[in-house]
Structure 1
């Protein structure tokens, strides 16, 4: 007896071929890669190093993909993986970039340097637009008080 599902199943990857990537993960990468890369380039001016950091973050996200999908906020968890990976790379750069940075500084970077609006930032970091707008305002006021 043959199983009708066997005939439509993808064949396993051959030697040296990368394993099949879940469609949701591929879509996630396509959506977030340009923004993640823009963020990484702020901290890692060497484009090759920035691309490597983003690729490393996506590899880590891929390892935990099923767990992330089961979490309450997969995008926020993926953003934390990216932040951690970029931070690790900044420590290895010569000279080292600023090793740690508050999360609100990330919002300012995404808004003022990368050029994302509050709804786009919320989409990238996995939060709501109102929270991003409030945190951006607070960051701007904090910086202005230091002038």
Structure 2
């Protein structure tokens, strides 16, 4: 197996479960969560060599995951209206920070790594959410 294939396999093994949790929270009931994750990972696999040359492979794949979610987001009743509110009232990166850190329980460092950001960017997203939606419990997690 080529080194690139091993790298992609490791990337998939590490991120697929977290991508699935994120997509499950974002997509309506009765949508094909696994299809969005599979499409994202297939895109990453097809473009793996190019992605390796990019400044942040994780950020580029995260953008593809967001795109896949956006394609299915209006296909049925929301799973959680609170999450719909987050994405309608906040910038996407702030909403993602709240979803990952507060709803899915990821630490700031893990959320940042998953989205291809630096931890201060996730902290800034949480601060933005706190200002825009003060009723949210977006305090810092350890």
Partner residue in 1 for 2:42 = 59
Aligned residues: 125
When residues 144 and 87 of structure 1 are mapped into structure 2, their CA distance, relative to the original with a 3 A threshold, is: same
The 2-side partners of 1:44 and 1:50 are apart by 7
Identify which of 120, 133, 140 aligns with 2:123: 133
Give the TM-score of the pair, scaled to structure 2.
0.78
8 A contact 2:28–2:78 mirrored in 1 = no
The 2-side partners of 1:124 and 1:63 are apart by 20
Partner residue in 1 for 2:33 = 50
Shift of 1:113: 1.1
Higher helix share: 2
1:31 to 2:11 alignment: no
- Larger deviation, residues 124-133 vs 41-50: 41-50
8 A contact 1:41–1:47 mirrored in 2 = no
Identify which of 103, 106, 120 aligns with 1:116: 106
The 2-side partners of 1:96 and 1:105 are apart by 16
CA deviations on 1:42-84 (whole Å, 9 max, x unpaired) are 1225477111111111111111111110111111000000010
Shift of 1:145: 7.4
Larger radius of gyration: 1
When residues 95 and 45 of structure 1 are mapped into structure 2, their CA distance, relative to the original with a 3 A threshold, is: closer
Give the TM-score of the pair, scaled to structure 1.
0.75
Partner residue in 2 for 1:70 = 53
The 2-side partners of 1:95 and 1:45 are apart by 5
Shift of 1:115: 0.8
Bigger relative contact order (CA 8 A; separation at least 6) = 2
Consecutive unaligned residues of structure 2, counting only runs of 5 or more, are 137-142
